[in-house]
Structure 1
Amino acid sequence: MDKYANYDDLKQHEKEGEDYVILSREGYSGIAVIAPHGGGIEPGTVDIADGIAGGRHSFYAFKGIKKKKNGVLHITSNKFDEPEGIRIAENADIVLSIHGYHGKGDEIFIGGRNQTLMEKIRQTLKKEGFNAEICTKAGLRARHPENICNRCRTGEGVQLEISRGLREKMFDNLVRRSWRKRSHLFFKFISTLRRAFR
């Protein structure tokens, strides 16, 4: 259960620049890649979203920077309403939302409402040896229209839930810090996802 019901609730108790930061930049592709639970909330997701976005796609991240207990900054995706994040999502034709879950394996669960793109991403990842499946788990399917990934112009985005086990293989150390060394697997994952959007 989240501590805060929405962003207005969160910002009354947490301080921007001290407890969290908001990152964004505009792209030109019509696609936005976002990490609404970045930093210490779901480690590694900002690096992954930023890498996929590059200079082509729009990028957004809500990044927890508390010394500890960043989990309190988690706002569930169906209620995530930080204004800059909503602006980036609503100005995009498609949103790809990057998340992390606690699994120890190397799974990637694909959710959202854009069935065609979900399947294309699944096939592209599988071809490169990643363990990617369309999500059937309640709470991770990202089917709700208010989910941040579906707040795009088409109303049909994609959400990736990347296991902690896989994220740990992408970096030398997943513990939050200013910069992590990225592994070969990180760059393989980024290039594979970029191909799925061509």
Structure 2
Amino acid sequence: MNRKALGLVAGSEIVLAMHGCEGKDEVIYLGGRHAALVASISAALSKRGFSVGTHKNPDLQGVDRSNISNRGKLAMGVQFEITLALRLRLADETGRSASPSIIDFVKAIGEGFSDLGLPL
């Protein structure tokens, strides 16, 4: 793993790791060792219209202690696996992209933190 990346996350309380995965359906798979934050962000994303789940592949669930999402000060974070279909739609710069939008995505993450009283 990249030493620079590990140094950066080591100084952070909570780490959010954004990853991409294959998929024709628009889904955000959440994982990581911070179960409360995973649940809070999941609820906020669902409320805004995103499809959220847990990836079937254990290697993409972000629960291993050595995973970068779990290498912050609290040793627990959140891993996002975002399907290709959703990434392509969210990156649509034509303005014709359907809701929920990238702005909804970002706001949902903020809501997930604030609902638990956690600073961003």
Normalising by the smaller structure, the TM-score range is 0.7 to 0.9
Higher strand share: 1
Matched, 1:87 2:7: yes
Of the three residues 104, 110, 113, the one matched with 1:188 is 104
Larger relative contact order, structure 1 or 2 (CA cutoff 8 Å, min sep 6): 2
Alpha-carbon separation, structure 2, partners of 1:192 and 1:112: 17
CA RMSD of superposed structures (Å): 1.7
Deviation for aligned residue 1:118: 0.7
Amino acid at match of 2:105: F
Higher helix share: 2
Check conservation: 1:118, 1:134, Cα contact below 8 A. no
Runs of at least 4 residues of structure 1 off by over 3 A? 180-184
Amino acid at match of 1:134: T
Q: Who wins on radius of gyration, i.e. which is larger?
A: 1
Partner of 1:168: 88
Of the three residues 37, 59, 67, the one matched with 1:147 is 67
Amino acid at match of 1:155: A
Gaps (5+ residues) in structure 2?
115-120
SS in 2 for 1:129: coil
* Corresponding pairs, count: 111
Alpha-carbon separation, structure 1, partners of 2:62 and 2:105: 21
TM alignment of 1:1-198, pairs within 5 A:
81-172=1-92, 185-198=101-114
Question: TM-score, structure 1 length as denominator?
Answer: 0.52
Gaps (5+ residues) in structure 1?
1-80, 173-179
Alpha-carbon separation, structure 2, partners of 1:134 and 1:116: 14
SS in 2 for 1:167: helix
Check conservation: 1:171, 1:181, Cα contact below 8 A. no
Partner of 2:118: none
